[in-house]
Amino acid sequence: MTPAQLDQSGMAVCFAKAEQIDPDFSTKAEAAILAHLRTVGQCPGEDLTEIAKAHGAVPHDDRAFGAVYQSLSRRGPIKTVAFCLRKRGHGTAGGRVWGLQSENS
């Protein structure tokens, strides 16, 4: 498996377990992420993850949030608007800043 395939596999396993533990995990996470973005416009994913957890979307492993962002992005409510240094990645590159998809784009 390539590193990208391993990332996708790990994300899927973590998401499935999060949904098994709390069947409303993705619903809670999506609602918190979208509500916060409606308020602030754009926000780093790591911050959105912490906000979602504060609103009750608490998986056993934060990698479960990857599937939430991927789903929201593919369905269209959010998009990557910038990149940032990661807080939890010790300042490494690769953090995404998410924003709401405008109705005109």
- Percent of the chain surpassing pLDDT 90: 77
pLDDT digit string, tens, across residues 60-100: 999 999 999 999 999 999 999 999 999 887 778 889 999 99
**Structure tokens given for 15:** 């998401």
The SS3 call for residue 23 is: coil
**Structure tokens given for 37:** 């973005």
pTM (2 d.p.): 0.88
**Structure tokens given for 94:** 């690769």
Within 10 A of 99 (CB to CB), how many other CB atoms are there?
A: 16
Mean pLDDT for the stretch of residues 31-55: 98
**Structure tokens given for 47:** 């911050």
CATH topology of domain 3-100: Arc Repressor Mutant, subunit A (1.10.10)
Where along the chain do its domains lie? 3-100
Residue 31 has pLDDT above 90, yes or no: yes
The SS3 call for residue 84 is: strand
The SS3 call for residue 96 is: strand
